[in-house]
Structure 1
Amino acid sequence: MLKSGQIFIDNMRFHAHHGVLEQERLTGGDFLVSLSASYPLGKATESDDVTDTLNYAEVYEIVKSEMDIPSKLLEHVAGRIGKRLLKTIPLISELTVRLTKVNPPMGADCDGAGVLLHFINDENC
C-alpha cells in the first residue's frame, strides 16, 4: 500500500516587487515558483476524493500571498513560503521551493537566477 508521495506545482508565474535594487522593488519583475511536497497520498489513490489530498488551490493562494510581500532577497521570500506552507498544512513532511527571477539585472544572458530551498517538517519525523 502506498504510504506517501509528492505533489508538485511547476512554474507558477507572478509579477512581484523583490530585489536588492530600489528600481526592482518599484517596477517589479517576473518570477516563477515551483514546489514539491511530500504528503500522505495513499488514501487519495483509493478514495478519488479531493478532501484526501493536498489542495493545489490552497497552496497557490499561500504562495501568491507571500509573493505579494516585497523583499530584497529571494532567499527570504522562499523561506517565508516554505515556513507558511509547513505551518498551514502540517501533513507535509518535506517541501522543496524553487524561486526564479526571470530577468535578473546582472548583465547575463540567462533564463533566470534564484534559490532552491528544502524544508523538513520536524513535527512529522
Structure 2
Amino acid sequence: MDFLDEIVLTGLTVFGRHGVYAHEREDGQEFSIDLRLRMSLDQAAASDDVADTVHYGELAEKVAAVVGGEPVNLIETLAERIAAVALEDVRVQNVTVTVHKPHAPIPLSFADVAVTVHRSRAPEAMEDITI
C-alpha cells in the first residue's frame, strides 16, 4: 500500500517553556512546528467529508497543547511527543515533525535551530487498517 498523499501543516507557532536553562523555562519563547502526514486520502476525496480525513484544525490544537504544555529539556523530546499525537489517528501511516526554536540561547547570529523526526506506524498496526 503506497501512502504518497500528504497533509502538510507548516509554521504553527506556539509559546512554550522548553529548554535546558532555567531562563528558558521561566521566560518561555515561541516555537514553530511543521508537520507532514502521509496517508491515503482516497476515501476523503471520494466522500468529500472531513470525517474521512485528518481534521488539521483539530490536529493543530492538539499539537499546540503539547507545545504549550509540560516543559521538556530538548526539542528532540518535544518533536517525539508531537509525532505521537499525529500517529494517534490510525489513518496516518507516517509523520515528519520539525520543531523550530528560532530564539535558542546561542550567543551568535543565526536564523533558526530545528530538529526533525520521522516516525512510522508499527507494521503490525498497519495490518489492522481497512481502507
TM-score calculated relative to the size of structure 2: 0.87
- Contact 1:4–1:41 (Cα < 8 Å) also in 2: no
Q: Segments of 4+ in structure 1 off by > 2 A?
A: none
* 1:61-92 C-alpha deviation (Å, 9 max, x unpaired): 22011112211110111111111221x21111
Residues 1-125 of structure 1 aligned to structure 2 (within 5 Å): 5-68=5-68, 69-86=70-87, 88-122=88-122, 123-124=125-126
Pick the structure with more strand per residue: 1
Number of positions where the alignment pairs a residue of Structure 1 with one of Structure 2: 123
Structure 2 segments unaligned to the other structure (5+ residues): none
Task: Percent identity, please.
Answer: 28
**Cα deviation 1:2-46 (Å, max 9, x = unaligned):** 965110100100111011110001000111000000122012222
* Structure 1 gap ranges (5+): none
CA distance in 1, matches of 2:38, 2:51: 16
Normalised by the length of structure 1, the TM-score is 0.91
The 2-side partners of 1:24 and 1:3 are apart by 38
Q: Is the 8 A contact 1:78 1:99 kept in 2?
A: yes
- Structural RMSD (CA): 1.6
